[in-house]
Amino acid sequence: MKIKSADFVISNSDVSKCPKEPLPEYAFIGRSNVGKSSLINMLMERKNLAKTSGRPGKTQLINHFKVNNNWFLVDLPGYGYARVSKKDKKTFQKYITNYFEQREQLVCSFVLVDIRHEPQKIDMEFMEWMGENGIPFCIVFTKADKLKPKAIEKNVGAYLQKLLEDAWEETPRHFVTSSNNSFGREELLSFIDIINTD
C-alpha cells in the first residue's frame, strides 16, 4: 500500500469522543516502550507523526490518525508502566478497555511485543482478555534489528509455542518488524490493504 497521506485527527481519553466517520480502524497496543509510536511512524514513513520517547509512558491518550483519507490508525498508551499512580492506572486502563469494547469500527488490533523478551504475563493476560471479548488481533514482534535472524526465529517459535500451551487453539497471525530498518513494513501494510479492500 502506498501512503499518500497520514494526518493527526484528535487525541482524547474518551471513546465516545473518537472520530465519528465510519472508516475502518486499526489500533496499536502493548507494553509501554515496546515501540508502538515508532512503528506507526515507520509504517507512515514520517519521523514525528506519533510522539516517541526512550522513557516509558510517553503516549497517554487515544490518538487517531487518518490514512489515505480512508482508514484510521490509532496509537494507544502502553500498559504495564509502573510509574503512574494506582488511581491513574485504573482510569487509564478503564479508558483503554472501553475503547476496545466500544469502538465499533475497530477491524483489527496489533498487540506489540519486544522480540528479545520471553513471553510476559501481562501480555499473555491482555491477549487472553482480547480473546475472551472476541476482539480480533495480530501479534507484532518489535525491535527485530536487535537480534540475529536465528534468534528471531527461535524467539518467535518459542512465543507461539507458549500461546498453544496456554490453550490457544491456534496462534494469531504475526509479523516481525523493526522501526529502525523498516523490516516488516510492506507485509503489515499489505495485510491492512487486503482487509480494507475486501
Binding mask 160-179 for ligand GTP (x = CB under 6 A): ------------------xx
Strand partners, 63: 11, 75
Q: Which does residue 38 bind out of Mg ion, ligand GTP, none, counting CB within 5 to 8 angstroms by kind?
A: ligand GTP
- Amino acid in the structure at residue 102: Q
φ and ψ at residue 111, rounded to 5 degrees: -95, 115
One of 35, 72, 141, 155 touching ligand GTP (CB under 6 A): 35
Q: Which does residue 56 bind out of ligand GTP, Mg ion, none, counting CB within 5 to 8 angstroms by kind?
A: ligand GTP
CB of 34 to ligand GTP, least distance (A): 4
Separation CA 129–CA 44 (nearest Å):
29
Binding mask 60-79 for ligand GTP (x = CB under 6 A): -----------------xx-
Is residue 145 involved in binding ligand GTP (CB under 6 A)?
A: yes
Rounding to the nearest 10 degrees, give the CA dihedral for residues 162, 166, 169, 172: -50
Stretch of 12-20, 27-35, 116-124, 156-164 lying at the interface with ligand GTP (CB under 6 A): 27-35
Strands 106-114 and 62-67: unpaired
8 Å CB contact between 172 and 138:
yes
Separation CA 113–CA 174 (nearest Å):
11
Q: Which does residue 54 bind out of Mg ion, ligand GTP, none, counting CB within 5 to 8 angstroms by kind?
A: ligand GTP
Is residue 54 involved in binding ligand GTP (CB under 6 A)?
A: yes
